[in-house]
Amino acid sequence: MKLLRYGEAGSERPGLLDADGTIRDLSGHVTDIAGKALDPASLETLSKLDPQSLPAVSGNPRIGACVAGTGKFICIGLNYSDHAAETGATVPPEPIIFMKASSAIVGPDDDVLIPRGSVKTDWEVELGVVIGKTAKYVTEAEALDYVAGYCVAHDVSERAFQAERQGQWTKGKSCDTFGPIGPWLVTKDEIQDPQNIPMWLKVNGKTMQNGSTKTMVYGVAHLVSYLSQFMSLHPGDIISTGTPPGVGLGMKPPVFLKPGDVVELGIEGLGMQKQTFKADE
């Protein structure tokens, strides 16, 4: 299934995308794409619905973030061998973990605000993993049982805030609107191999990133298991699993985003995003 949330920000309704690309309303069956709705039993129940029996949504509504109630937005740094090489970093012996504030989450096509004082706002297309049931001390062999599905995540980053100011990376990752997710939460049964999915990103029509999850250092199952050794993962938590090469920081000379730039990104089978970058007044 391709689950989604549609409507004005703060008033989104749950839906799914049928085989013809029509949004079908799910509010008669779940209150939101969040919490218990992400449990495997709930997802199985939804999968048995006949999409044609659900109300069709007319017009062209705004698409919101594909999951609600996210308690933790966990990001993994330098998790693609080719991205680590372009930044001059060595592949870490364990996953690098940092957090992106959940207040950064927006819809896939919402405007992204370049924060005051920013001179190095950058892009990163990433595979997002959405947790479906509570995971604690899980093994790698069972880790995918705790995954509800996958989504496109844009880990927008302010490199000066991230690396040139004191402290950790979080403040360069958590600015308002720096976490577009969606358009869809694609349930895991539709993704044959999460470690072999092409992904891409364009800035003003020019391809900047063209990679695949096959160059991940630490795969999805390893990350879910690894993180669960340190913290419980709850339904709606998102793991943003790292980015392939082609970020602005890695260009020679570096290239960063400015007001008016348009970024498009996508992952095969998971949909596309498109954002216009604007100055945060």
Look at residue 198 and tell me if it is in a domain.
Answer: yes
Q: Which domain holds residue 127?
A: 65-279
Give pLDDT, residue 233.
98
Look at residue 31 and tell me if it is in a domain.
Answer: no
The length of the chain in residues reads 281
The tens digit of pLDDT for each residue in 247-273 reads 999 999 999 999 999 999 999 999 999
Give pLDDT, residue 83.
74
Look at residue 112 and tell me if it is in a domain.
Answer: yes
Give pLDDT, residue 41.
97
CATH of the domain at 167: 3.90.850.10
The tens digit of pLDDT for each residue in 220-237 reads 999 999 999 999 999 999
DSSP states along 157-217: EEHIIIIISSS-GGGGT-STT-EEB-S-EEEGGG-S-TTS-EEEEEETTEEEEEEEGGGBS
Give pLDDT, residue 89.
74
Look at residue 29 and tell me if it is in a domain.
Answer: no
Beta bridge partners of 105: 179
Do residues 15 and 70 touch, judged by C-beta distance below 8 A?
no
Look at residue 55 and tell me if it is in a domain.
Answer: no
Report the run of H or E that residue 84 belongs to, with start and end.
helix 81-86
Look at residue 171 and tell me if it is in a domain.
Answer: yes
Look at residue 148 and tell me if it is in a domain.
Answer: yes
Total domain count for the chain? Answer: 1
Q: Flag residues of the chain having pLDDT under 70.
A: none
Look at residue 54 and tell me if it is in a domain.
Answer: no
Cα–Cα distance between 59 and 52 in angstroms, integer? 17
